[in-house]
Amino acid sequence: MMSINFNVKPLLGAFNDMPGSVARELRKTMKQEGVEIQTLARHVHRHNTRSGSLNESIQERFDNESFTETVGFNPNTAVVNDPKRVGKKVDYGKYVHEGHGSWAPDKFLYEALEKREALIRENLEAAVRRGIEAAIK
């Protein structure tokens, strides 16, 4: 009797490996995109950078536990130059972004994200494809 056998064990192994390879590619891409947004945000804000406090307050970080990339403000990087408050840490980036007192809001983080949104989607899709391809090789 003639028969045809299909051996899908290698494919099953690839599916078992896929979550790890996809996660690695996504993590790498998310981190890269976070750095790109951070860099762009540091260039699109409308304020003159004299001390560097605004740019330094724009930080990115990846949290492995929640698998989340965050670009936001670090209040521990901006030091006030006001003589009454020298050395105090402030959330300078948030003040510029949201507006404070006479400062009008400058939504530069949102602007940076909007400028990269389509590219981020493409890069995340490519990361998933790379992860799948790496699993089936």
Write the pLDDT tens digit of every residue in 44-91: 988 877 777 788 888 888 888 888 888 888 755 544 555 555 555 556
Contacts of 97 (CB under 8 A, 6+ apart): 73, 105, 106, 107, 108, 109
Q: Where are the domains of the chain?
A: 9-136
Q: Are 54 and 109 in contact (CB under 8 A)?
A: no
The pLDDT, as a whole number, for residue 89 is 57
What are 103-126's pLDDT values in tens digits? 888 998 889 989 999 999 999 999
CA distance 53 to 58: 9
Neighbour tally for 117: CB within 10 Å: 11
pTM for this predicted structure? 0.75
